[in-house]
Amino acid sequence: MIASAPSPAAPPRRPGKNRRQRRVTNAIATSAIVAAGIGVIVPLLAILLFLLVKGLPALNLDLFVKNPGPTGVAGGGIKSSIVGTFVLLGLALLMGLPAAIATGIFLAEYGRNRFGFVVRFVVDVLAGVPSITIGIFVYTAIVLRMGKFSAFAGGVGLALIMLPIVSRVTEEMLLLVPQITREAAYALGVPKWRTIISVVLPAASGGIMTGVVLAAARVAGEAAPLLFTALGNNFYSTSVFRPIDALPLRVFTYATGPFAYQHEQAWAGSLVLVAMVLLLSIGGRLALSRRAR
């Protein structure tokens, strides 16, 4: 039996007079929430819309085959910027990928301990460093020491941005490979290093590639670390040790320029850039979801 004192008199029943008010509050809150839900995609649609409306008309063949003319003279193109973006991307991948994948391997295979925890933490810290700060770092560490701006410095900056992303993705993908796969190799007498290279890494390669593609998409759009490393260039150049232009840099320069042709080309360039980035991003995510199934 429950030990209970005699119950006091029951409080009166409330007839629920405030139900109407509660219903009204509910309706208002619901509307606000639905508005937020719809409102959230409005900016995306607006940006894409204007990109198309303003960028498409300015899109022509000249854009892709000509370099910028002298400042103030219309009719040039942004070939140097597009090529420059690819060069920088290539440099960034060349310098950043090996380091990132090696770090990812370390974290997954040799880093399940306190030291690994520290490294993982530091990698996450690196991910949080603003890209402009990365730019300053590369400026003081490389540009000043080399005495000049260069595509190489720009590539280093982009590689530093790519590094934490690809490292963590590599780690995650390697961890997804079932332990049984490794043990099967060990049981056959394959040493650990060989197992990683020949068995585990290939198994995770699809996911890692996707991660690299997504990181490349991110990095292709970055201009902050390039402002005072690659610097930008009005002339066509693919030389690694000279300043080089990039698409986001050119858009940035043209956006603040005084000439109409610059604005038009900024829109066109943005369209090309966004198309590139979205293709890479969507492609990457599609590949990822297919993999997840």
The site string for another protein over 221-250 (x = CB under 8 A, - otherwise) reads xxxx--xx--x----------------x--
Q: Give the 3-state secondary structure of residue 244.
A: strand
**Interface with another protein includes 26 (CB under 8 A)?**
yes
**Interface with another protein includes 93 (CB under 8 A)?**
no
**Interface with another protein includes 198 (CB under 8 A)?**
no
**Interface with another protein includes 71 (CB under 8 A)?**
no
Helix 114-127 with 151-176: angle, nearest 10 deg: 130
**Cα 263–chain centre separation:** 26
Q: Give the 3-state secondary structure of residue 257.
A: coil
Burial label for 43, CB within 10 Å (0-12, 13-18, 19+), is exposed
Closest contact distance (angstroms) between CB of 203 and another protein is 13
CB atoms within 10 A of CB 48: 13
Total of chain residues touching another protein, rule CB under 8 A: 131
Q: Which of residues 267-286 bind another protein (CB under 8 A)?
A: 267, 270, 273-274, 277-278, 281-282, 284-285
Closest contact distance (angstroms) between CB of 51 and another protein is 7
- Residue 65 or residue 275: which is nearer to another protein going by CB? 275
Q: Which of residues 167-196 bind another protein (CB under 8 A)?
A: 167-169, 171-173, 175-176, 179, 182-183, 186, 189, 191-196
* N-terminal to C-terminal alpha carbon distance within the chain: 56
CB atoms within 10 A of CB 27: 10
Q: Which of residues 248-267 bind another protein (CB under 8 A)?
A: 248, 251-252, 255-256, 263, 266-267
Q: What angle do CA 172, 286, 41 make, to 5 degrees?
A: 105
Question: Which one among 56, 74, 94, 129 touches another protein, defined by CB under 8 A?
Answer: 129
- Residue 65 or residue 121: which is nearer to another protein going by CB? 121
Q: Are 242 and 233 within 8 A, CB to CB? A: yes
CB atoms within 10 A of CB 259: 13
Burial label for 106, CB within 10 Å (0-12, 13-18, 19+), is middle
**Interface with another protein includes 50 (CB under 8 A)?**
yes
Question: Which one among 143, 163, 199, 201 touches another protein, defined by CB under 8 A?
Answer: 163
Question: Which one among 112, 198, 202, 239 touches another protein, defined by CB under 8 A?
Answer: 112
Residue type, 255: A
**Interface with another protein includes 8 (CB under 8 A)?**
yes
**Interface with another protein includes 160 (CB under 8 A)?**
yes
